[in-house]
Structure 1
Amino acid sequence: MAEAAPFKVPVSFASCSIGLPRHTLHQKIEAISQAGFDGIELSFPDLQSFARAHFGRDIAADDYPSLCEAGSEVRKLCANHGLKILVLQPFANFEGWPDGSPEQADARARARGWMAIMDAVGTDMLQVGSSDADGISPSVPRLADDLAELADLLAARGYRVAYENWCWATRAPTWKDAWTIVQQANRPNLGLCLDTFQTAGGEWGDPRTASGRIETGGVADEELRMSYLISLQELAATVPAEKIFFLQISDAYRVTPPLKDEPDDSGLRPRGQWSHDYRPLPYDGGYLPIVPFVEAVLATGFRGWFSVEVFDGKFEQKYGDDLHGFAKKAMEAHRRLLREATTEKALSGPSGSPP
């Protein structure tokens, strides 16, 4: 029997993080529930895929009436399996567009549509990734004003916004950048979604180097280690636990050969490519120093939702159709990470082991 975690926290599983395109949302939910999870992050692409199967036709991303009808069925499905829908995700590229631009109009229309979906699926939280688009404002006050507008829109229904730093983002790639924007927006229903990959992979790891570590400016390993630790100590000392709405956990593979230092054909930057295809479960082949990050988050007093969000490009060769085995392994990884984060007292290396 797997060793228990040192204390109980609610734990969810992102629906986009289990299985392959051939697996249905129902199959995913069943495996997640049977592994003992408390909830799911409902991924918009999974909802859209469910809606296509439900109606037997293509469903556009802005066909909100159909998505809402399908969402009501997903809500029942989750309830029947004892799962809460923690959050709808990933909402992106909302903040920073020029006033009157088509992009700003689209962002606001999407926000209203996603709110309707939130009503249908029964969740009170929207996860928003920091914008990775070109052409947005560099002004922190402007970004904060836009997020405040979004938070106010959702507050009318009692909903919350969890803002996540994406490590390849245009303006807010670090937890501190996101926290600065959240502080300036100053809304009670606006907080952070923190992520082990986004911080460890942004402030310590680098998919463009053979070592897998940041080497910019010839930084030495010890300098990098200390810089990362100082960032984590600052997080623990400055972010109130109640402003952390949930914590996502994953690791990353060292990329061999390293990724080119340029966007791919879709325009996605190297760390974005890394995020999309090279993020396994903790203790499943990754190398990032994620244990100290979780330790820092717990040091704030946070005891809220943990959520498994992985994007493992090796899923099929490692797990095939064994969704149940994968979900159980994810729960074991969560418990181990929680145990190690309550005993580790220094950055000893990736996932708590020597580098």
Structure 2
Amino acid sequence: MPEINEINKIPLSFATCSIGTQSDTLPRKLSALHNAGFNAIELAFPDIQSHGANLLGHPIAADNYPELVTAAHDIRRLCDAYHLRVLMLQPFANFEGWPRGSREREHAFERARGWIEIMDAVGTDMLQVGSTDTPLEKLQGGKENIVSDLRELCDLLAAKNMRLAYENWAWSTHAPTWSDIWSIVRETNRPNIGLCLDTFQTAGFEWGDPTTSTGRVDDLSVGELDKRLEESMRRLVGCVPVEKIYLLQVSDAYLPVEAVPRERVRGEWPRARWSQAFRPLPYDGGYLPVEAVGRAVLKTGFRGWFSVEVFDSGPDGKGREYEIKQYAADAMWSAREFLEKCMH
């Protein structure tokens, strides 16, 4: 059994997008997470917009950075009152790889500069960037341009002593695995870029598949897929330096009641749709071997942030009722149970 003190040394965070309903304001979320004992939050961009709307009395556009910065200053005040650090701003999506000179690339860097202003106001030094899911035919230059864009973003962040946490999204069109993003991080070759690892994104790509009858990749046996995942995790332990892991996000996934259609729906890939509604806390009805990922991350020597990021609309995806304070307490129990099992 791991020592309680060893578990207590690992700081725990919770994503604000992962708790409450539209009627739950950000102050209510922060209060619940503080009472549950979390040390920090991942601040989700929509929560800045909704808090700003309540603060200023009108909706705030996603590119109205002066008003978003005003909201961010107030969020910093609230977090200080609840003794919560803002670990990271998320999710910065579909940033890298756009054609040079395109309006899309120009807009991506406008967003980056605006989000950096928000980060400065709210007092966080880390930006999460998810590996883009833009269809590759819309991008240009392949990996070379992706790396070039990330270098430029790293340099913008470095001017403010900020970091880039690059995450493999399981539905990414160019980097769905931890090894894909590790290759890109190495080539980017900046001191302020590292990995945002995620139990769902890794196990949900290498082991799970919502489009098959079993919910497993190629309908393979549990034993075969466990063996493959364990080998992948051995490679992770062997090649990723601990200082290049910035955090581990923790969640599980429900086995779909019916296989998810393979085609894109309203521009979303199957695993993206799975991710948005079918991700419970560990030990709350999921089926992925998420402990294998947590165990590997700990074996690197990492003792940094474990952050709960769930999207739980129930096993049928139709919604789930819960009381926000109790859910935060359940999440703390789940996170500590996950750590204890991964430390075995």
TM score, norm. by length of structure 1: 0.92
Name the residue aligned to 1:297. 297
1:194-233 alignment to 2 at 5 Å? 194-215=197-218, 219-233=220-234
SS of residue paired to 1:147:
helix
Deviations 1:66-116 (A, max 9, x none): 000011000000000000000000001111011000110000000000000
Give the superposition deviation at 1:318. Answer: 4.7
From the superposition, tell whether residues 109 and 319 of structure 1 become closer, same or farther in structure 2 (CA, over 3 Å).
same
After superposition, the CA RMSD in angstroms is 1.5
| Structure 2: distance between partners of 1:222 and 1:85 | 40
1:1-355 alignment to 2 at 5 Å? 4=4, 6-7=6-7, 8-134=9-135, 135-137=138-140, 139-215=142-218, 219-264=220-265, 266-314=266-314, 318-320=320-322, 322-343=323-344
| Structure 1: distance between partners of 2:222 and 2:199 | 20
Preserved CA contact (<8 Å) 1:141 1:181: no
From the superposition, tell whether residues 138 and 197 of structure 1 become closer, same or farther in structure 2 (CA, over 3 Å).
farther
Name the residue aligned to 1:346. none
TM score, norm. by length of structure 2: 0.95
Structure 1: which amino acid aligns with 2:39? D
Question: Sequence identity of aligned pairs in percent?
Answer: 52
| Structure 1: distance between partners of 2:222 and 2:291 | 18
Give the superposition deviation at 1:43. Answer: 0.2
| Structure 2: distance between partners of 1:58 and 1:90 | 20
Preserved CA contact (<8 Å) 1:208 1:260: yes
Structure 2: which amino acid aligns with 1:77? L
Count of aligned residue pairs for this structure pair: 337
| Structure 2: distance between partners of 1:237 and 1:137 | 32
Preserved CA contact (<8 Å) 1:195 1:248: yes
Preserved CA contact (<8 Å) 1:141 1:184: no
Structure 1: which amino acid aligns with 2:307? S
Structure 1: which amino acid aligns with 2:173? T
From the superposition, tell whether residues 137 and 167 of structure 1 become closer, same or farther in structure 2 (CA, over 3 Å).
farther
Name the residue aligned to 1:348. none
| Structure 1: distance between partners of 2:140 and 2:36 | 43
Preserved CA contact (<8 Å) 1:6 1:338: no
Preserved CA contact (<8 Å) 2:313 2:320: no
> Please, which runs of 5 or more residues in structure 1 have no aligned partner?
344-355
Give the superposition deviation at 1:316. Answer: 9.0
Preserved CA contact (<8 Å) 1:204 1:214: yes
Preserved CA contact (<8 Å) 1:210 1:256: no
| Structure 2: distance between partners of 1:168 and 1:316 | 22
Preserved CA contact (<8 Å) 1:86 1:124: yes
Structure 1: which amino acid aligns with 2:186? Q
SS of residue paired to 1:272:
helix
Name the residue aligned to 1:349. none
Structure 1: which amino acid aligns with 2:290? I
| Structure 1: distance between partners of 2:333 and 2:311 | 18
SS of residue paired to 1:211:
coil
Give the superposition deviation at 1:219. Answer: 4.1
Deviations 1:32-68 (A, max 9, x none): 0000000000000011010111111111000000000
| Structure 2: distance between partners of 1:221 and 1:319 | 32
| Structure 2: distance between partners of 1:258 and 1:4 | 40
Preserved CA contact (<8 Å) 1:277 1:312: yes
Give the superposition deviation at 1:141. Answer: 2.5
Preserved CA contact (<8 Å) 1:281 1:310: yes
